[in-house]
């Protein structure tokens, strides 16, 4: 639960950082984030719970791929991955 709260607080920061990391889209071919997932929920774009889970796993995978293991982002992703 703490990881979820921590990551929720970091989301605005991550969006600001994304503007400063031009190589992100070179390394991450299928970006996913909570805002996109929320939009998809609001638009009823998810057909199954597994579709939501797949986007969540993609977001976690992207985070762990892009960020070094020593960063708070990587560690928060690991905690989220193990809590879900």
Contacting residues for 77 by C-beta, under 8 A, at least 6 apart: 7, 60, 63, 64, 67
Name the nearest CA neighbour of 77 among 28, 26, 22.
28
Q: Please tell me the predicted confidence (pLDDT) of residue 3.
A: 56
Cα dist. 6→9, 28, 46, 47 in Å?
5, 23, 25, 28
Contacting residues for 18 by C-beta, under 8 A, at least 6 apart: 24
Q: Please tell me the predicted confidence (pLDDT) of residue 4.
A: 55
Flag residues of the chain having pLDDT under 70. Answer: 1-19
The domain of 18 spans 2-83
Query: How many distinct structural domains can be found in the chain?
Result: 1
What's 60's domain CATH number? Answer: 1.20.920.10
**Cβ proximity of 30 and 58 under 8 Å:** yes
């Amino acid at each position: 639960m703490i990881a979820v709260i921590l990551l929720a607080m970091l989301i605005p920061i991550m969006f600001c950082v994304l503007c400063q990391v031009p190589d992100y889209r070179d390394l991450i071919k299928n970006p996913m984030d909570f805002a996109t997932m929320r939009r998809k929920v609001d638009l009823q774009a998810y057909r199954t719970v597994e579709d939501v889970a797949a986007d969540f796993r993609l977001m976690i995978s992207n985070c762990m791929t892009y960020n070094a293991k020593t960063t708070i982002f990587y560690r928060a992703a690991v905690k989220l991955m193990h809590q879900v």
